[in-house]
Amino acid sequence: METVISIAIGVMASAGVWLILRPRTFQVLIGLTLLSYAVNLFIFSVGSLAIDREPIVKPGVVADLVNYSDPLPQSLVLTAIVIGFATTALFLVVLLALRGLSGGDHVDGQEERL
C-alpha cells in the first residue's frame, strides 16, 4: 500500500514540475494543481495508512494506540484543498485577464518561434 502511494506521489509531483516548466500559462496552472495534489496526498499519508481500521481511537481503548489514523493531517489536507481551489480560481481569473491584455497565453509574453 505504501509503495503504491509513494509511486503516485512521485508521478504526480514529477508531472506537476514538468508542467510548471512549460511556456503556456494553462499548463502552469495544471502543473501547480498536480503539485498541490501530490503534496496533499503526501500529508495525508503521513497520518498513517490503515486498511479496515477505525479512523480515530475509541474512548476507553488505550492499549491499541498503534492502529489508528491521525485526524490532524486529514484536517490539514481538507484546509489545503479549499485554499488550493481558491488559489486556482484566482489564477484562472488572472490568466484570462493576461490573455485579454496581451493576446497570448505564454508565460514570458512572447510567442514560440518554430
pLDDT tens for each residue of 6-51: 999 999 999 999 999 988 888 888 999 999 999 999 988 887 766 6
Answer yes or no: is pLDDT of 1 > 80.
no
Q: Give the per-residue pLDDT at 54.
A: 64
What CA–CA distance (Å, rounded) separates 58 from 16? 39
Helix 25-46, helix 2-20: angle, nearest 10: 160
* Nine cell digits for residue 27: 499548463
Tell me the range of 62-66, 75-79, 105-109 where mean pLDDT is highest: 75-79
Strand partners, 24: 106
- The fold for domain 2-51+68-102 equals Helix Hairpins (1.10.287)
Residue 71 pLDDT grade (very low, low, confident, very high; cuts 50, 70, 90): confident
The pTM of the full predicted model, rounded to 2 decimals, is 0.73
Q: Quick one: DSSP state of residue 76?
A: H
